[in-house]
Amino acid sequence: MKSDIPIVVAGGRPFLARLEPYLQPWGAVSCESPTLDSLLKMLKPARASIVLLSPPLVEQDYVEPLKNQSHLTVVYCIAVNTTPLPRYNLAAILTEVGLLTQGADAYLELLPCPQTAALIAAEHQLFQAYLEVAKRYLAQHCHLMTANDFLSSIALADPLTTLSNRRALEWELTRQIRRAQTQGTPLSLLVLDVDFFKAVNDNHGHQAGDRILQLLAQRLRNYLRRQDAVFRYGGEEFVVLLKNTDNEAAGAIAQRLRALIGDHPFAVDRDLHLTITLSIGVATFHMGDDREGRSLFQRADQGLFEAKTNGRNQVMNADQRTG
């Protein structure tokens, strides 16, 4: 009967002892009085999980972080009450309402101590029914996630360079800002623009211009770290998100990119090699910035404007105003 979807049960020792006979056949993993961080780490590798929580953990706001740990995972939470009040007592009803309001997907009551074999068997059946409902929900959700991943890969990709596009940037920037706020880690942003790109199209044709953008995208991928994300914002403009990167390090990365791009010509075809340069604006997230990233992007974009105005082929750090 062991489940192919991980099942985790979390609560105090009496709670775990009460549920153990019902969950052992399913291969459930028990966590005694876990911290939220330890529970998150346990669930992180799984794409889908069923979590049974004691009411105190639900009331301590464990559910929302478990459900929102990643867009790539889904968690089905069942609040299990092993010490319920009489079923139609007002306090019992309000307890159920509170647990569901705090994010639990289902609420299950067990008798404090079933006395007969028939009651024990009935509770086994009830447990199995709840877990089967959870498995059906997760299976359907994972199927939708797979379909959405495919559609998103099309909707969020730039067809010319195969980089992520502007829509993907808007989504990822919000997510990374939320991460920077909650974890207190630095986040920086670069806005890059190809200098005199119109002249490339005018002098060599749009096919040559497209090829330059494709080659530039490849170089950016190769030159940046694995943790960084690069996006084609539009036209000849690109954006780079630098996770765990403070302002000084972001400026150094921008200078390195500018030199690596400008010092090595692009082989458009066998007979045409072109040198291009970049102007780059740099900004780093501040706690006063908005959660959507508009103010962060605007500062980096202002840095780019200053780099263009001051002669191009340079880096302007909006948070330092130095080139």
Residue 124 neighbours by CB distance under 10 Å:
13
Maximal CA-CA distance, the chain:
89
Give CA–CA dist 50/34, Å, rounded.
Answer: 16
251 CA to centre of own chain: 25
Give CA–CA dist 9/28, Å, rounded.
Answer: 7
The catalytic position among 236, 248, 292, 306 is 236
Please name the amino acid found at residue 274: L
User: Do the strands 272-274 and 237-243 form a parallel or antiparallel pair, or are they unpaired?
Assistant: unpaired
Give CA–CA dist 168/61, Å, rounded.
Answer: 30
Active site residue 236: yes
CB neighbour list of residue 314: distance below 8 Å, 6 or more residues apart: 258, 279, 280, 307, 323
> Token pair of 6, please?
């991980």
Q: Specify the DSSP element, H or E, that contains 221.
A: helix 206-223
Active site residue ranges: 236
